[in-house]
């Protein structure tokens, strides 16, 4: 791939470019030949000098435009070569990040669900193993329990508590107001607030909101 500096150097070495540059230098060096015009002959000489300067400047400007046009074309060729690869790599990086995030969120959700199930199974086994006649009488005479609440054999209260949370499904669709530049990190606090405040009505593009269940116990 040709670089702009080589285009510029090779163009300046062309005979026509060398001739025009030397002419320009010669005209500039002869600028002080006539300092003050005192007669027609000197006026004509200065007018001719002015014409030659304008003509040389025009030719040099035309050459400049040719060189810079070539340079712009080279820069565009460089961008066309590199930019698609750069953008593709960024896209693949984002996709990989989403996959890792999804896996970790699913893993955490599964662990929470498994812990909830195990805790409930332990409670059921305890009730079956140590329930006595006295506790059966207490069960018949006690006040109705709140929905979702379980009374343990020692009088402890165990209940299920739901919590709304979220996970990323498509980072490219998440609105800018939920992202932090430059690496597009998600604003967790804002999405947590959206999940807890709106619950099943929460709706953000690229985000999935869902409910998890945990077990709480008090005596």
Size of the chain in residues: 219
Q: Cβ contacts of residue 101 below 8 Å, gap of 6+?
A: 167, 168, 171
Which residues does residue 160 pair with via DSSP β-bridges, in sequence order? 215
Q: What is the pTM of this model?
A: 0.33
**Do the strands 149-151 and 185-186 form a parallel or antiparallel pair, or are they unpaired?**
unpaired
136 SS3 class? helix
Whether pLDDT at 208 is above 70? yes
71 or 1, which is more confident? 71
Q: What angle do CA 165, 171, 172 make, to 5 degrees?
A: 145
> Looking at residue 58, what is its pLDDT?
92
Per-residue pLDDT tens over the stretch 10-55: 556 667 778 888 888 888 888 766 678 889 988 888 888 889 989 9
Whether pLDDT at 3 is above 50? no
CA distances from 133 to 129, 137, 149, 156, 207 (A): 12, 6, 21, 18, 52
Residue bearing tokens 């409910």: 211
84: phi > 0 → left, psi -120 to 50 → alpha, else beta; which? alpha
Average pLDDT over every residue of 53-66: 87
Average pLDDT value over all residues in the chain:
77
Cα torsion angle, 200, 204, 208, 213, sign: negative
Per-residue pLDDT tens over the stretch 73-122: 777 777 887 787 678 778 777 877 887 788 888 888 889 888 888 888 88
* Chain centroid, CA 127 distance in Å: 54
């Amino acid at each position: 791939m040709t670089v702009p500096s080589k285009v510029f150097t090779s163009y300046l070495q062309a005979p026509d470019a060398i001739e025009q540059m030397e002419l320009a230098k010669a005209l500039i060096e002869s600028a002080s030949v006539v300092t003050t015009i005192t007669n027609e002959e000197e006026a004509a000489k200065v007018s001719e000098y002015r014409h030659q300067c304008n003509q040389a400047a025009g030719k040099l400007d035309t050459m400049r435009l040719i060189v810079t046009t070539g340079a712009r074309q080279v820069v565009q060729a460089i961008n066309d070569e590199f930019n698609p690869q750069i953008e593709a790599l960024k896209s693949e990086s984002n996709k990989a990040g989403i996959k890792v995030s999804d896996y970790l969120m699913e893993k955490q959700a599964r662990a929470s669900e498994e812990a909830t199930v195990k805790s409930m199974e332990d409670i059921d086994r305890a009730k079956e193993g140590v329930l006595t006649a006295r506790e059966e009488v207490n069960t018949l005479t006690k006040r109705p329990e709140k929905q979702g609440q379980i009374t343990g054999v020692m009088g402890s209260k165990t209940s299920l508590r739901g919590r709304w949370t979220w996970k990323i499904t498509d980072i490219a669709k998440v609105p800018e107001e939920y992202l932090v530049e430059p690496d597009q990190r998600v604003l967790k606090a804002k999405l947590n607030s959206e999940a807890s405040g709106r619950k099943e009505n929460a709706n953000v593009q690229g985000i999935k909101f869902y409910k998890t269940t945990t077990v709480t116990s008090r005596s």
